[in-house]
A and B are shown apart, each in its own frame.
Chain A
């Protein structure tokens, strides 16, 4: 096993374990999406899209949960490490900062699996949601691809949080607009045309499209490829910004609380 992969794997397991020990984080990832899914269920049930529309809504609600996990997890993780005094220890290790932060952000996205699982289970038990997906294997690929690409988007977000001690306040601003603009809650066709370019550069747009196509029918390959491509772009941006911000943070002394 190459050293980089070992580092990623150990870091991912460590951070998933750490987040799983947080009752608040897990409850948040599990319970909130159930509310979204329930509201969406009644919206769709009263509209013209019962049946598969319910799966469509539940998957969207689950993805909303993944995005929330990434947003609060990736941002909160850095700030929380600063509060806990571990940020200076993880930044002071020999590997590049990206090798340390990437497993953290992918771990926060992975915790979003609880969201997908809880919404589907809730839909199945309460509303009798059909879970016979059209392309089960592609569903798994799309889900993993979405989680990784959202984790990479979290990497870009977290780089700002290394530098700015109060940047986590940005998290609150980014949650609901991204739900809307990426089609997690409502169809993108209902949004004005100028929002399209914003949708296209955000991985959740393609992630949810791939997941829905795999579950309900359609070609999930193109959205999955888009997810992967965006993930690579986020990785490049994150690599540059983390390196730059690390030096800035060492210059401006923002690694520790003062």
Chain B
């Protein structure tokens, strides 16, 4: 049975431009998103910045009212029964904002334990248990303004779990964390799934979605463009191949010309220190290395390599396809 269900969710934001002649501009952030998450499942919502991930999650956790469509969590409608939904969910936003900085981590947790109705008799033990889980034991009585970004992030996780919610929403929880902190947090998320929690995770880190999620929906420009297990998504591009070329100063027009080549599925460029890495995903039945290098005439070309497509390639192909 589905624990979280979204049916054709839509959300329009209104913004104003101009000072004297103010004009209302409408931005459709989410355009008909539908999905269902089963009990105990870790479902990933994967998409680039501005794709509509956070807006979708905020509608599900009752902080935003959808412009159209419906959603329910554990059978409760997110618009009609927000308080019933809130009692049963926990949520964590990425980033270091969202804690009372002048007070200690313990004070923060104690306050939210009360707000979430954790019985007074179990509050202390529950807070201790969570401090242990997120690795903040021993630092809980320090003011949070002295916490590192990772510590604040772990405090968010502890707060989201205070009332032992059945469903947990994690909105880019590892954003901005150092590799060790991110790995620790992913391990913590892993323990939550072992404990039977249902989790909706948004991220734009492909490896994170690949490593953690049972199923993934790729969201782009407010719409879900693909859904399936990581293996299923990879298989959509498994028949192709990826050519990577290290280049120095590749013009945008060249990237566009490469995109128009017959047999090219997607092209993207990543900045890596002084160099750029051009990745061209092609169909398996074509050999385009010479043609690609031919188009790079005039640019400094470094190492050229070939590899199997990854989930990241599937993601880029899906997002670019939109």
Given A92-B91, A94-B87, A251-B65, decide whether A85 and B97 contact each other with a Cβ distance below 8 A: yes
Q: How many Å from the CB of B121 to the closest CB on chain A?
A: 12
Segment from B39-47, B98-106, B201-209, B262-270 that makes contact with A: B98-106
**Per-residue A-contact encoding for B89-120, CB less than 8 Å = 1, 0 else:** 00101010111111100010011101111001
**A88: contacting residue among B63, B101, B110, CB under 8 A:** B63
Nearest-CB residue, chain B, relative to A90: B115
Q: How many Å from the CB of B113 to the closest CB on chain A?
A: 9
Q: Are A10 and B114 neighbours in the complex by a CB distance under 8 Å?
A: yes
Report the interface size class on chain B: 20 to 34
Given A84-B100, A88-B63, A250-B64, decide whether A94 and B93 contact each other with a Cβ distance below 8 A: no
Given A6-B114, A94-B117, decide whether A18 and B93 contact each other with a Cβ distance below 8 A: no
Nearest-CB residue, chain A, relative to B86: A94
Nearest-CB residue, chain B, relative to A10: B114
Q: Which B residues touch A255, using CB under 8 A?
A: 63
Interface size of A in residues (CB-CB distance below 8 Å): 30
Given A11-B114, A247-B65, A253-B13, decide whether A85 and B107 contact each other with a Cβ distance below 8 A: no
Q: Which A residues touch B101, using CB under 8 A?
A: 84
Q: How many Å from the CB of B62 to the closest CB on chain A?
A: 7
Nearest-CB residue, chain B, relative to A81: B100
B199 interface hit (Cβ, 8 Å): no
Please report the C-alpha to C-alpha distance between residue A251 and residue B62 in the assembled complex, in whole angstroms: 10
Nearest-CB residue, chain B, relative to A23: B102
A128 interface hit (Cβ, 8 Å): no
Q: Are A253 and B64 neighbours in the complex by a CB distance under 8 Å?
A: yes
**A100: contacting residue among B13, B65, B99, B115, CB under 8 A:** B115
Q: How many Å from the CB of A224 to the closest CB on chain B?
A: 31
Q: How many Å from the CB of A133 to the closest CB on chain B?
A: 35
**Per-residue B-contact encoding for A90-117, CB less than 8 Å = 1, 0 else:** 1111111000100000000000000000
Q: Are B65 and A7 neighbours in the complex by a CB distance under 8 Å?
A: no
Q: How many Å from the CB of B50 to the closest CB on chain A?
A: 12
Q: Which B residues touch A100, using CB under 8 A?
A: 115
Number of A-B contacts (CB under 8 A): 79
B215 interface hit (Cβ, 8 Å): no
Q: Are B98 and A92 neighbours in the complex by a CB distance under 8 Å?
A: no
**B97: contacting residue among A14, A84, A251, A252, CB under 8 A:** A84
Please report the C-alpha to C-alpha distance between residue A18 and residue B93 in the assembled complex, in whole angstroms: 22
**Per-residue B-contact encoding for A1-32, CB less than 8 Å = 1, 0 else:** 00100110011001001100110000000000
Q: Are B86 and A92 neighbours in the complex by a CB distance under 8 Å?
A: yes
Q: Are A95 and B115 neighbours in the complex by a CB distance under 8 Å?
A: yes
Given A89-B98, A255-B63, decide whether A3 and B115 contact each other with a Cβ distance below 8 A: no
Please report the C-alpha to C-alpha distance between residue A10 and residue B13 in the assembled complex, in whole angstroms: 36
Q: Are A93 and B112 neighbours in the complex by a CB distance under 8 Å?
A: yes
A169 interface hit (Cβ, 8 Å): no
Q: Are B100 and A93 neighbours in the complex by a CB distance under 8 Å?
A: no
**A94: contacting residue among B58, B100, B116, B143, CB under 8 A:** B116
Q: Which B residues touch A6, using CB under 8 A?
A: 114, 120
Q: Are B102 and A18 neighbours in the complex by a CB distance under 8 Å?
A: yes
**B103: contacting residue among A14, A91, A251, A252, CB under 8 A:** A14
Q: A11-B114, A21-B103, A95-B117 are in contact. List 18 more A-B contacts (CB 8 A).
A: A3-B117, A7-B115, A10-B114, A17-B103, A18-B103, A21-B143, A85-B93, A86-B97, A88-B93, A89-B159, A92-B62, A92-B63, A92-B91, A94-B116, A250-B64, A251-B65, A255-B63, A258-B13
A-B contact pairs, 27 of them (CB 8 A): A6-B120, A10-B110, A11-B111, A11-B115, A17-B107, A18-B102, A21-B102, A21-B103, A22-B102, A84-B97, A84-B99, A84-B100, A85-B95, A85-B99, A89-B112, A93-B86, A93-B112, A93-B115, A94-B115, A94-B116, A95-B83, A95-B115, A96-B83, A250-B63, A250-B65, A255-B63, A258-B13
B residues touching A (Cβ–Cβ < 8 Å)?
13-14, 58, 61-65, 83, 86-87, 91, 93, 95, 97-103, 107, 110-112, 114-117, 120, 143, 159
